[in-house]
């Protein structure tokens, strides 16, 4: 399959190790998009004319495909198309009924797009609490979850009495840690809605919404199968969605409106959350992509990625300098137990000094290797990886720092981030071997240096 549907990889000498950033598209996906647009005419779906109905038909087909992929009951869940997972998170944050006395509980191991919901919560007087990362493997303990979500006498009260929202990732985009899906049930029993970030989890794992029943699930489809970009999803429980109150309305979201009368009525279904015209020429590509992934077999992809991840972890931990010092420091689980295909680490020089991630970014790119460096939009996991504690951060907040370089220096960090290698649908043994050869040839017995590196412009 790699040599036919993904031939551009080996034809161009690409070593792609950034599946946590984006999946890759098969030639068949692009061909299906072209064929659909050349064989039929589609128009704006907000009408009753033939081309509008054609667009509505393929968009609704995609909704059904999304729910079927997650084994979600259409009577219980709905699919809302967004620009990406970040936009899905914003939809929840801006409309969730945060108020004084309610809480937003967010895991420290979360993408910025989820952490950013706290700004909506704070603006409405809700309390914000963090689930700490407090284990060597950068996991969050069950006891921390139970402490943050204490039981209360209101369990079993109507849904409108929810105490707040818990948000956490099914899989960390920094370390690959897979957090327990059981926390969804714990949160519900203690009166909380749950936003489960599935963006990093779904490319290689099944999520069955008849078993695990979070209230909100943000998804980016390009992370599952590369194409289309610019189309994400918020899968939501209908009863939880009914509690949201949007702060504005737009074209496509309303059943009726009056300018002079100063009133409006939102639609009574998921379209109330789809602002303007949906991306009706690309949304059908989600249907094809889901079918493509399922035809290959998600279990096959999962098993392959798990094997490659375990092998990379073993090999990285076996790398040493001539003096016996380790070449690599891994952040997160050292083996493939309860983790996904994402590995974060730094190279070390013979004296144990961290090799600057900017140097690795430059030198790996020069030999055609695509990987990720930095903090990966996950500041909590980064703070946990580098042992940055709250008292240090509080002292730092009193200073006026203008650049990332000043921030890194003030914290006394050895580097501005880590290196992230991640596997996916068409990763193979040659990708791993090529990267390991590069690592040994470039950094074995080599002293760390920061000379000639460009300043960091952002995290």
**Burial of residue 341, with CB atoms counted within 10 A of its CB: 0-12 exposed, 13-18 middle, 19 or more buried:** buried
Backbone CA torsion sign across 370, 374, 377, 379: positive
| β-bridge partners, 339 | 177
Q: How far apart are CA 38 and CA 55, in angstroms?
A: 14
- Contact predicate 429/308, CB 8 Å: yes
Two tokens, residue 16:
């792609």
Q: According to DSSP H, which parts of 81-228 are helical?
A: 85-95, 112-115, 117-123, 142-148, 183-189, 222-225
Number of Cβ within 10 Å of residue 186's Cβ equals: 17
Closest CA to 317 of 329, 331, 332: 329
Active-site annotation holds for 377 = yes
Catalytic-role residue among 78, 375, 377, 459: 377
Residue 67, CA distances (Å) to 7, 161, 171, 203, 214 in order: 31, 27, 20, 16, 14
| DSSP-derived 3-state class of residue 269 | coil
> How many whole angstroms separate alpha carbon 51 and alpha carbon 40?
9
Q: Which residues 6+ apart lie within 8 Å of 360 measured at CB? A: 347, 371, 373, 419, 443
H or E stretch including 435? helix 429-443
Label residue 255 left, alpha or beta by phi (over 0 means left) and psi (-120 to 50 means alpha).
alpha
Q: Report the C-alpha gap between 36 and 87 in whole angstroms.
A: 27
Residue whose pair of structure tokens reads 């599952």 in the numeric block: 224
In whole angstroms, how far apart are CA 70 and each of 209, 211, 404?
A: 6, 10, 40
Strand 192-197 and strand 164-169: pairing?
parallel
Contacts of residue 217, defined as CB under 8 A and 6 or more positions apart, other chains included, come to 70, 195, 196, 197, 198, 207, 209, 233, 234, 235, 236
Catalytic positions are: 377
């Amino acid at each position: 399959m790699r040599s036919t549907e993904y031939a551009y990889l080996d034809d161009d000498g690409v070593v792609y190790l950034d599946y946590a950033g984006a999946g890759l598209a098969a030639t068949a996906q692009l061909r299906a998009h072209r064929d659909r647009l050349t064989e039929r005419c589609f128009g704006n779906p907000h009408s009753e004319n033939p081309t509008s109905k054609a667009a509505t038909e393929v968009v609704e087909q995609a909704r059904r495909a999304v729910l079927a992929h997650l084994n979600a009951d259409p009577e219980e869940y709905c699919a809302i198309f967004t620009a990406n997972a970040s936009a899905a998170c914003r939809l929840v944050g801006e409309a969730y009924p945060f108020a004084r006395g309610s809480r937003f509980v967010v895991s420290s191991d979360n993408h910025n797009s989820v952490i950013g919901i706290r700004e909506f919560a704070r603006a409405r007087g809700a309390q914000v609490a963090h689930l700490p990362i407090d284990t060597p493997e950068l996991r969050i303990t069950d006891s921390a979850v139970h402490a943050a979500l204490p039981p209360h006498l209101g369990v079993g009260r109507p849904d409108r009495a929810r105490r707040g929202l818990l948000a956490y990732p099914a899989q960390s985009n920094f370390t690959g840690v897979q957090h327990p899906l059981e926390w969804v049930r714990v949160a519900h029993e203690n009166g909380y809605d749950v936003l489960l970030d599935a963006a990093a989890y779904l490319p290689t794992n099944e999520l069955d919404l008849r078993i695990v029943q979070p209230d909100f699930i943000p998804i980016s489809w390009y992370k599952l199968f590369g194409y289309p970009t610019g189309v994400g999803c918020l899968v939501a429980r209908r009863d939880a969605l009914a509690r949201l109150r949007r702060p504005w309305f737009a074209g496509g979201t309303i059943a009726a409106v009056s300018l002079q009368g100063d009133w409006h009525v939102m639609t009574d279904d998921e379209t109330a959350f789809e602002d303007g015209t949906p991306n009706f020429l690309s949304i059908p590509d989600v249907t094809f992509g889901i079918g493509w992934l399922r035809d290959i077999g998600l279990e096959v992809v999962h098993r392959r990625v798990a094997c490659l991840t375990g092998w990379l972890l073993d090999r990285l931990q076996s790398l040493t300098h001539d003096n016996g010092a380790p070449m690599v420091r891994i952040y997160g689980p050292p083996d493939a137990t309860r983790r996904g295909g994402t590995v974060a680490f730094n190279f070390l020089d013979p004296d144990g000094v961290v090799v600057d991630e900017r140097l690795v970014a430059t030198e790996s790119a020069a030999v055609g290797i695509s990987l990720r460096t930095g903090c990966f939009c996950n500041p909590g996991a980064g703070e946990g990886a580098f042992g940055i504690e709250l008292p240090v951060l509080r002292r730092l907040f009193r200073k006026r720092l203008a650049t990332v370089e000043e921030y890194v220096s003030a914290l006394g960090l050895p580097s501005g981030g880590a290196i992230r290698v991640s596997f996916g649908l068409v990763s193979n043994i040659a990708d791993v071997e090529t990267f390991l050869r590069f690592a040994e040839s470039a950094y074995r017995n080599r002293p760390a240096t920061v000379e000639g590196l460009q300043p960091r412009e952002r995290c």
